[in-house]
Amino acid sequence: MATNFSKELIIKPGHTVQLRKFDPGDTLGWDKGHATKASLAKALEKLDKLQYLMYADHKHALLVVFQGLDGAGKDGTIRHVMSGVNPQGCRVTSFKPPSPEEAAHDFLWSVHQAVPPYGDFGIFNRSHYEDVLIVRVHNMVPKDVWSERYEQINRFEAILDKNNVRILKFFLHISKDEQKKRFMERIDDPDKRWKISQADFDERKFWDEYTQAYEDALTRCSTKRAPWFVIPADKKWFRNLAVSHIIVETLEEMRLKFPPPAIDVKKLKWR
């Protein structure tokens, strides 16, 4: 089954996002089965080869941003999609509440330091978008402060793109019922109970506020060179399939090349 996941799931610049129009259970016609497993395996194999090529090329970097409500599967997506890549060339950064040092700088200071170097993949588990999401929902700063951050983020991402850092941003879109189901599964599983917290349940009260905040971020910050993708995430297998294919499709578009050898191999002499 041929599907251009990038084309199907991208938020086009200038498009006003209304998340109620996006089905979190959509699979674009794919079924859970052998064909899907084979397609995922092939994508992960390509991803491994393309990572090696990017490392050799050493002129570009890839930054992949994951955002989503609690339980959307950010950790699981990273674990499954990045399972085949070389960990030496892939760094995952999880963004927590700012430290005193980070709070003493602008909101993008710590983010810029986590941008991957040329040749590497960088994975953001949450990101600079928290400063127009949780900060907005919980009124951590005045509206006139966070409302200016959309354009500041766009300019920051434009700088990265101009300097050969390709950016992909994935919003893992789950339904409220699916989130509840996953929370209950964590409670029922002794090996997963440690992942649940009171805050997870408290944040559900702000579902509508988070939805509006995400809609505005997706609308205002999906650009040609740093696009947002809305990934239906109620079905984990499809979530992993879609994300892996979009990353592969993007890397293939970059036309990475192996550099020439540093020496003339014809003149090498064995002793």
Which residues on neighbouring strands pair with residue 123, listed in sequence order? 64, 92
pLDDT of amino acid 197: 84
**Alpha-carbon distances, residue 208 vs 18, 32, 203, 230 (angstroms):** 12, 31, 10, 17
Closest CA to 85 of 234, 254, 251: 251
- Entry pTM: 0.95
Helix, strand counts (H, E) of the chain: 12, 6
Instruction: Sketch out the chain's domains with CATH numbers.
Output: 5-16+24-255 (3.40.50.300)
Cα-based torsion angle of the residue sequence 224, 225, 226, 232 in order, rounded to the nearest 10 degrees: 60
Tokens 């944040």, residue located: 203
What's the token pair of residue 237? 């297998």
Distance CA 113, CA 32 (A): 39
pLDDT of amino acid 271: 72
Distance CA 174, CA 155 (A): 29
Output Rg (C-alpha) for the chain, integer angstroms.
20
pLDDT in tens, the chain (271 residues): 679 999 999 999 999 999 999 999 999 999 999 999 999 999 999 999 999 999 999 999 999 999 999 999 999 999 999 887 888 889 999 988 888 999 899 999 999 999 999 999 999 999 999 999 999 999 999 999 999 999 999 999 999 999 999 999 999 999 999 999 999 999 998 888 888 888 888 899 999 999 999 999 999 999 999 999 999 999 999 999 999 999 999 999 998 999 988 787 777 777 7
Tell me which DSSP letter residue 21 carries: G
